[in-house]
A and B are shown apart, each in its own frame.
Chain A
Amino acid sequence: RKEVEQDPGPFNVPEGATVAFNCTYSNSASQSFFWYRQDCRKEPKLLMSVYSSGNEDGRFTAQLNRASQYISLLIRDSKLSDSATYLCVVNNRSGNTPLVFGKGTRLSVIA
């Protein structure tokens, strides 16, 4: 089982739609979780950290379920500019790899 798994998509949604992505992780000792956004052929940029209590930043809401070992990202009122790949990232704090990235979920918001 891969350390971090995401549905690669693509998710094609109309403007204004609500879309949700899930990500599962295999290491129960994982301690920190993040969502990064990556535009085509550009560098990843931190979108938001994911806290146990859940957190919201404008139209974006992140949730963590430790018992089931998954993380979610909800985007409300999708904009064309939200089109990108969303990378789920897990900090294992063990072994040699500080952060483990998922393959990403591709989102296309259509006018």
Chain B
Amino acid sequence: ETGVTQSPTHLIKTRGQQVTLRCSSQSGHNTVSWYQQALGQGPQFIFQYYREEENGRGNFPPRFSGLQFPNYSSELNVNALELDDSALYLCASSRSTDPNEKLFFGSGTQLSVL
């Protein structure tokens, strides 16, 4: 177990709805990264949060937004859901923003958009 927990584990939404996914980072980790993994694909970087600020963003539209709280837990919000948003959403925490730092992944949230 990595100590990174995500909730919920599964979620079903319909097009146009909004969703919030949550992640608790491992103790001592101040950096949280979010990834989207569609079926048959590798994880795609959405964004990273460090000390409550966004610290880098991948090629995702503004309807993907996030937050990090003082305890370093994080939320991923997706507005106006589209069918293509169906994927496994992974949260990973690390001790710093150094890309060489080991990532500890949570088990993910499986989102299905109908």
Interface of A toward B, CB cutoff 8 Å: 4, 8, 32, 41-46, 87, 91, 93, 96-104
**B7 contacts A by Cβ under 8 Å:** no
Contact of B42 among A32, A98, A102 (CB under 8 A): A102
- Nearest A residue (CB) for B97: A98
Inter-chain contact B42/A43, CB cutoff 8 Å: no
Inter-chain contact B106/A43, CB cutoff 8 Å: yes
A43 and B99 in contact, given A96-B56, A101-B42 (Cβ under 8 angstroms) = no
**B49 contacts A by Cβ under 8 Å:** no
Q: CB-CB < 8 A to B107: which residues of A?
A: 42-43
**B26 contacts A by Cβ under 8 Å:** no
**B67 contacts A by Cβ under 8 Å:** no
Inter-chain contact B56/A45, CB cutoff 8 Å: no
Inter-chain contact A97/B88, CB cutoff 8 Å: no
Q: CB-CB < 8 A to B33: which residues of A?
A: 98
Distance between Cα atoms of A87 and B45 in the complex (Å): 14
Inter-chain contact A43/B58, CB cutoff 8 Å: no
Interface of B toward A, CB cutoff 8 Å: 2, 33, 35, 40-45, 48, 56-58, 88, 90, 97, 99-100, 102-103, 105-108, 110
Q: CB-CB < 8 A to B99: which residues of A?
A: 32, 91, 93, 98-99
- Nearest B residue (CB) for A4: B42
Distance between Cα atoms of A63 and B104 in the complex (Å): 23
Nearest Cβ on chain A to B57's Cβ, whole angstroms: 5
Inter-chain contact B100/A97, CB cutoff 8 Å: no
Distance between Cα atoms of A91 and B48 in the complex (Å): 15
- Which 10 A-B pairs give the minimum distances between C-beta atoms? A101-B42, A43-B105, A98-B99, A91-B99, A97-B45, A103-B42, A101-B43, A96-B56, A32-B100, A102-B42
Q: CB-CB < 8 A to A93: which residues of B?
A: 99
Inter-chain contact B45/A43, CB cutoff 8 Å: no
Inter-chain contact A87/B100, CB cutoff 8 Å: no
Inter-chain contact B41/A103, CB cutoff 8 Å: yes
Inter-chain contact A99/B42, CB cutoff 8 Å: no
| 20 A-B interface contacts by CB (under 8 A) | A4-B42, A32-B99, A42-B107, A43-B90, A43-B105, A43-B106, A43-B108, A44-B90, A44-B105, A87-B42, A96-B56, A96-B57, A97-B45, A98-B45, A98-B48, A98-B56, A99-B45, A101-B42, A103-B40, A103-B41
